Structures are given as C-alpha cells and as structure tokens.
Amino acid sequence: MTDSSQTLETLANSDYKYGFVTDIEQDTVPPGLNEDVIRLISAKKQEPDWLLEWRLNAYRHWLTMTEPTWARVHFPPVDYQSISYYSAPKQKGDGPKSLDEIDPELRRTYDKLGIPLAEQAVLAGVAVDAVFDSVSVATSYKGKLAEKGIIFCSFSEAVREYPELVRKYLGTVVSYRDNYYATLNSAVFSDGSFVYIPPGVRCPMELSTYFRINASNTGQFERTLIVADAGAYVSYLEGCTAPQRDENQLHAAVVELVALDNASIKYSTVQNWYPGDAEGKGGIYNFVTKRGLCQGRDSKISWTQVETGSAITWKYPSCILRGENSVGEFYSVALTRDYQQADTGTKMIHIGKNTRSTIVSKGISAGHGQNAYRGLVKILPTAENARNYSQCDSLLMGDQCGAHTFPYIDVHNPSAQIAHEASTSKISEEQLFYCKQRGIGAEDAVSLIVNGFCKDVFKELPMEFAVEAQKLIELKLEGSVG
Amino acid sequence: MLEIRNLHVTVEGREILQGIDLTIGPGEVHAIMGPNGSGKSTLANVIAGREGYTVTAGEVLFQGKNLLEMPPEVRACEGLFLAFQYPVEIPGVANLYFLKAAVNAVRKYRGEPPVDAMDFWDLIHERMELVKMDESMLKRSVNEGFSGGEKKRNEVFQMAVLQPYFAVLDETDSGLDIDALKVVADGVNALRNAERGFLVITHYQRLLDYIVPDVVHVLVNGRIARSGSKELALELEEQGYALYNEEPGRARRAAA
Ligand SMILES: Nc1ncnc2c1ncn2[C@@H]1O[C@H](COP(=O)(O)OP(=O)(O)OP(=O)(O)O)[C@@H](O)[C@H]1O
Ligand SMILES: [Mg+2]
C-alpha cells in the first residue's frame, strides 16, 4: 500500500502524464481523402500492386457505407476530409538500420513514456515494436527472435520482406468490407506490427507494440497481423498514448489474429489514449476492430484488455471458433470517468464442435462516465456441444455515471450450454469503513476494492503489465472518491 | 486508556446514546450487555469513527488524545480495533493481501518501513494457530462466502495480527458454536495483558465464563443503567432486562 499511495501522490498532479508533444519534423500528407491520397501512401511504402488494389477496393467500398450508429456513444460527426492520413517523422535516407540510428528526439519520447528502445534497457524478456504516428520506428530483439524463425517487424517491412505471408493472411479475419472503420483502415492503414510464429515454436519473450499518436489532425490507422502456425504460442502486448490536444483524433485500427492447429495466441492491451479533459473536450476516438480466428483444432485465442483512456472507445475483440475444441477468451476492464464513453465487449462465434468461450467483463464508471458492455455469443448449427460462460460486472462510483449491459445470445444448436451472470454494484460505505477501521485510508481503500473487482482480469495479464494496469486504474480513480 | 464522558449521540435526529460515562483502564476487560436496539453497536461505531452518527455532547479520550477529532483510519493506526458485528465482504481482495495492507498502513503511520515478508509470514502463521484458522482462508477474498462463524473468527484473527492497544468486540460470540466460542475466547485471552484494554459487547453470559470481565455494564435505552462485577451477567441471564426498561431511577431501586 505504501508504494501505491506514493505513486498516487506523485501522479496526482499530472492528470494525464503522457500529454506532451514531441517536436520533430514530420512528413505529413495534407488533409483529405481520395484515391490519390491512397496511391500516395502506397507509393511512399513502395507497396506491390496487389496491395494498392486491395486498398482501392476498400476505399471504393467505404464510399458506399455509413457510420454505424448502434453503439451507445454520442459524438459530433467526424469530418473525414479534415484528417491527414499519413504522418511520419522525417528521416535522412532509408531510415534506421539499427536501433542506434533512431532520431534521438524520438528515442527521448519513448524514454519519457517508459518504453526504452535500447535492447539492453528493455524490460527483461519483452521485445518492442514502436509505432509513431503512421510508421514503425523501431523493433528490438529482432535478431534473437529470427534465430527461432519468428518474424516480428513493422507491417511495412513485412509487406516488403514477406509478401506471400502477408498476402495469404491479410483480410482473412477482418475483410476490407467488414465495417465502416475497418474498411477505412483497409484503405489508408499506414503501419503496424506483423508477427509470424513458425510451427511448434513457443515465442520465448513477450512481444509488444507501443503506439503513439503525436502529430495533430492526423488519424492513426495501424494494422496488426499475428499468425501462430501449428503448435505455436505467442503472448503479445499493446500499449498506447497520445498528446493532450483540444480536438478529437481518430484512431481506427485493425488487428487480425490467426491460430492454426494447437496454436495459442494471448493478446493483451493496456489502452491509455488521451481521454479528453475534465469537461469532455478533446481526446481520442478509439474505433477499433480486433478479431481472432481459431482456424485449427485445439487452438486458443485469449484477449485481455484494460481500457482506461480515449474519449470514446468502440471495440469488440472477438473470436471465431472454427477449429474443433478451440477456445476463445475475453477478459476486459473498462474504466470511464469525466465524460468518457465506452461501448465495448466481444463476439464469440462458435462454429466448430466442442468449442468453448469465456467472457469476463468489468466496467467501472466514475464522474459522468458511461460504460456499456455489448457482447454476442453465437452458436452455429455445426457447433455441437459448444459452451460459453459470461460474467459482466459493473461498478459505479458516484451517481452521475452509468453502466449498461447488452448481452446478445443467438443459439442454433440445442446442445449448447450457456451461462450468463451480471451484477451492478457500488463501493459501499460499509466496505470503506471496514478498510479504514483497519488503518487503510480512503484512497488506498478505493484502489484495494477496485483492484479486487478487477482481479479476474488482471490475473490474466503478464506480470509487468498487471502492475502497470493496477497503477493506471489507481491514477485514473484519483479524486473520484467520496 | 479509554475515557468516555457524558456522550450523547444522535442518528438521523434521534438520540440513541443519552449520556454515556465509561472509563476503561489498561489491562481491563469490560463487558456491555443490553437489549436489542439499546445502542451497543452505536457506541462501538462512534468509538471507531463511523460516519452517520452525530455527537451532540460529551467527549471520548483514547490514551489521553481526543478520539472524536480523528478520522477512523487514524484511530485504527493509533491502536484501536473494532471486531464488527457484521463483517463486510470485499470481493476479489485476498484476506492475506488485505491484512498486509492493514499492517503496512499502521506501520507507515508509525514511521516504520513495510513489514518484512518473512516476518509477516511467521506472524500470520503463529496467529492462525491461535485462532485455529485454516490456511485456505488466507487466499479467499475478505469475508466472501465465509460462514457466520468463520467471519467472526476472521475478525479475531485480524485483531491478533494487528495487536491493537484497545479492542471493541461487537457480539463476536453471536453465531458461534461452542468450540468456536472457546477458540475465540482463547484468542482474546492470549492477547490480554497489562497494557491492552477490551470492551466486549455480548448478549450471553456464557462468553463471560471464558473471557472473564473486570466490569459488566448494562446498557438500556442509551444509558448505562448499572455496572457491576461478573455476577451481574448471571443475574441478567436469569431476570432479563425487564427491570431496566423503565426510567433509570427504577432500575437502581430494583437492583438495590
Ligand atoms: N444508521 C442508522 N440509521 C438509523 N437508525 C440507526 C442507525 N444506527 C442505529 N440506529 C438505531 O439506533 C438504535 C440502536 O442501535 P444499535 O445497533 O446500537 O443497537 P444494539 O444495542 O447494538 O442492538 P443489537 O443487540 O440488536 O445489536 C436502534 O434503534 C437502531 O435502529
Ligand atoms: Mg449491535
């Protein structure tokens, strides 16, 4: 408790400590969206023709679509012509060949964020890919991973170096027609991470991507593709921050995961995009499509997310359980305070026999925060003996906030077993008094109780991330007591 | 060590405690008995600093300090402990983790560094034996799914770990089977020493066979109607509180 209360004290004054701007020369495409912009992005990345075609198809399809309005979030319409779709730190020549060649200003940015890029300083056992605005600026531990045949690099590099792999899997889980934001992403995505784990290989370290939006008036449209071949295992972490700005910024990412026979992918996110100020001005629109395909038998995909930032969060990391005996999991903590809005949840689509899924969602609302869980469990006729367990708990702090639960269950096979539990609670005066009577002060008591509430999710996170997540929640709840 | 003078307390405008005087010295064990709704838990809560009670008159001194000025967590850190009549559940927070947080909060208050992991482990195990608590209880969430008896035992366990200077036990014996009652009493007796004071609230004189009090008080309608030795508890067991239910003057006459 001593540690955490000190953390609270030091962090209390800097409400959003990642709000700074890096002063660096950027190569930014003027705002606006049309086929020429897409051609320009593709050309800058020296992409093959098939990918440009794919982008253009996506763009043409996007023009026929309208923004979804079913989510329980409210925001003024986004002007897609006022956004710049590509921004990269300017670099001399071909870009950094090794970590030593990274612009020192960029390196300082990541140091400030606590993401050291130098390999010797990287948290033991975590390889990092850093995405700054539209491009990946550094990937650490590449050599060591390559020895095992693991590919971990920026998406652009993957397109250049492993075009067959990218072409084989890109869009197979989230097609370019999928939804408004995913389709936009397919047209304009700039960079992201690519991971391939060869058959039978257990990735020896956590892989991590750190996303940073820096430039103003830009959107960030990254794309992540992770393929775990037969019998492979990988644990992947994702973190995000952005400067404090008055205008809203759009972040529309796509993440695709593919797990073949016996493969297992664990994907963890700690999302701390700038949430806007206390009055609800500014902040990131986090409209993200994340989906995993359990293609092979006995495969497993597990999503864990701790969503604390963004003005609006709209995301539903999902699993398509096609392989027999495959397993999908979704563990989520979503915290909204001030005027933040979150509409998040998951979809578990059971196709194969004996497929199982688990959903654990914990929503915390404080201030005027609005938190909605939206989940779909769909059992197709082919999914003999499918099982799902869902648990959705909401914790309300104060009486101005809200929690909403929309569980949809759609069963087409009578052998399915589905269990759903939901609860809404408040931190009671009795619980607070009980803690205080044992010597624990109000702030510490609240974080203790909230951490207890989140425990089932935090325990799914890798160690360092769990500690990080716990501190982040404490920081976010600072001042919400009483 | 605890001095209560002319304490008047109202709850939602209603006067529940109507002038309590009570002095408990170091090493003493006082018992409070009294009918339901007479204000026993109210007294315990006011001592511990719970919100929702308005002290309209009187004072409470703890080791010479004005207790009523301190927030509840400071009272706890000063060495005051309340074993709750109805311990609350805290889902997801392991009992062990909670206790460590409490121990460290008290240590921080006293300017001491966080407890050494090994020392803590030893202390926990020693105290667990004292109240015959099962190791599995440490990993379970605070009071969650505990039986009534387990909750009470857990309260005594926490007290044994925190080693307060003064402890209020609010009906810690209620809902305990006879074996558990002995265990709880043994736990309290093991902590009894020349410095530590106890205020034991109970409905049953049986507990007082195990935890032998120095003084027994009868609390009726927010007033201490009578104080006496251990025998008073026996007398109450036989006669009930009927004699005290009128105005206090009657009670004194009846007892004479
Ligand atoms: N928070 C409260 N709100 C309203 N009334 C209260 C509150 N707390 C106590 N009271 C009232 O004060 C009176 C004394 O209650 P208290 O809990 O102190 O009794 P007690 O002596 O502990 O009874 P028991 O033996 O049943 O535990 C009761 O009439 C009770 O209803
Ligand atoms: Mg009571």
What ipTM was predicted for this assembly?
Answer: 0.94
- Which is higher by pLDDT, B87 or A472? B87
pLDDT for the residue numbered A235: 92
Residue in B20, B36, B219 to alter for ligand 1 test, most ligand atoms within 8 A of Cβ: B36
pLDDT for the residue numbered B216: 95
- Which is higher by pLDDT, A278 or B176? B176
- Count Cβ atoms within 10 A of the Cβ of residue A149 and give its class: 0-12 exposed, 13-18 middle, 19 or more buried: middle
Rounded to the nearest whole angstrom, what is the distance from the C-alpha of residue B99 to the centroid of ligand 2? Answer: 24
pLDDT digits (tens, 9 = 90+) for A285-315: 888 999 999 999 999 999 999 888 877 888 8
Q: Which CATH number fits the domain that encloses residue B18?
A: 3.40.50.300
State which residues form the domain around B52.
Answer: 2-255
Ligand with the closest atom to the CA of B218:
1
Rounded to the nearest whole angstrom, what is the distance from the C-alpha of residue B242 to the centroid of ligand 1? Answer: 19
Q: Are A397 and A366 in contact (CB under 8 A)?
A: yes
pLDDT for the residue numbered B165: 96
- Please name the residue of chain A whose CA is at the shortest distance from the CA of residue B71: A436
Residue partners of A29: CB distance under 8 A and separation at least 6: A37, A40, A41, A84, A85, A86, A87
Task: Describe the crossing of helices A442-458 and A429-437 by its angle, rounded to 10 degrees.
Answer: 110
pLDDT for the residue numbered B112: 96
Mean confidence (pLDDT) of chain B: 91
Q: Please determine, for residue B3, whether its predicted confidence score (pLDDT) is greater than 70.
A: yes
Q: How far apart (Å, rounded) are the C-alpha atoms in residues A130 and A119? A: 13
Predicted TM-score (pTM) of this structure: 0.81
Q: Is there an atom of ligand 1 within 6 Å of B51 CB?
A: no
Q: Please determine, for residue A214, whether its predicted confidence score (pLDDT) is greater than 70.
A: no
pLDDT for the residue numbered A239: 74
Tell me which residue has tokens 């019998």: A231
User: Mutate which of B42, B51, B90 to test chain A, going by most A C-beta atoms within 10 A?
Assistant: B90
pLDDT confidence band for A3 (50 / 70 / 90) = very low
pLDDT for the residue numbered A2: 32
Q: Are A304 and A460 in contact (CB under 8 A)?
A: yes
Q: Please determine, for residue B54, whether its predicted confidence score (pLDDT) is greater than 50.
A: yes
Q: Please determine, for residue A6, whether its predicted confidence score (pLDDT) is greater than 70.
A: no
Q: Are strands A417-426 and A327-336 parallel, antiparallel or unpaired?
A: unpaired
Which residue's CA is the closest to the ligand 1 atom numbered 28? B37
User: Average pLDDT for residues A169-188, to the nearest whole number?
Assistant: 94
Residue in B8, B18, B33, B40 to alter for ligand 1 test, most ligand atoms within 8 A of Cβ: B40
Q: How far apart (Å, rounded) are the C-alpha atoms in residues B32 and B17? A: 14
User: Average pLDDT for residues B131-144, to the nearest whole number?
Assistant: 92
User: Average pLDDT for residues A451-462, to the nearest whole number?
Assistant: 90
Q: Please determine, for residue B12, whether its predicted confidence score (pLDDT) is greater than 50.
A: yes
pLDDT for the residue numbered A106: 58
- Please name the residue of chain B whose CA is at the shortest distance from the CA of residue A443: B73
pLDDT digits (tens, 9 = 90+) for B157-194: 999 999 999 999 999 998 888 888 998 899 899 999 99
User: Average pLDDT for residues A341-365, to the nearest whole number?
Assistant: 93
pLDDT digits (tens, 9 = 90+) for A389-415: 999 999 988 788 888 889 999 999 999
pLDDT for the residue numbered A453: 92
- Count Cβ atoms within 10 A of the Cβ of residue A40 and give its class: 0-12 exposed, 13-18 middle, 19 or more buried: middle
pLDDT for the residue numbered A215: 56
User: With b meaning 16 or more CB within 10 Å and e meaning fewer, what string describes B8-28?
Assistant: bbbeeeebbbbbbebebeeeb
Q: A3-12, A167-176, A351-360, B245-254: which has the minimum mean pLDDT?
A: A3-12
pLDDT confidence band for A78 (50 / 70 / 90) = confident
Rounded to the nearest whole angstrom, what is the distance from the C-alpha of residue B252 to the centroid of ligand 2? Answer: 24
User: Average pLDDT for residues A342-351, to the nearest whole number?
Assistant: 92
User: Average pLDDT for residues B81-107, to the nearest whole number?
Assistant: 95
Note whether B81 contacts A437, CB cutoff 8 Å: yes
In this complex, the residue of B49, B87, B101 whose CB is nearest that of residue A448 is B101
Counting the structural domains of chain B, the total is 1
Q: Is there an atom of ligand 1 within 6 Å of B11 CB?
A: yes
Note whether A444 contacts B105, CB cutoff 8 Å: yes
Q: Are A395 and A388 in contact (CB under 8 A)?
A: no
Q: Please determine, for residue B34, whether its predicted confidence score (pLDDT) is greater than 60.
A: yes
Q: Please determine, for residue A95, whether its predicted confidence score (pLDDT) is greater than 60.
A: no
**Rounded (to 5) percent helix, strand, coil in chain B:** 40, 25, 30
With residue B161 as reference, give the H or E element that holds it: helix B148-162
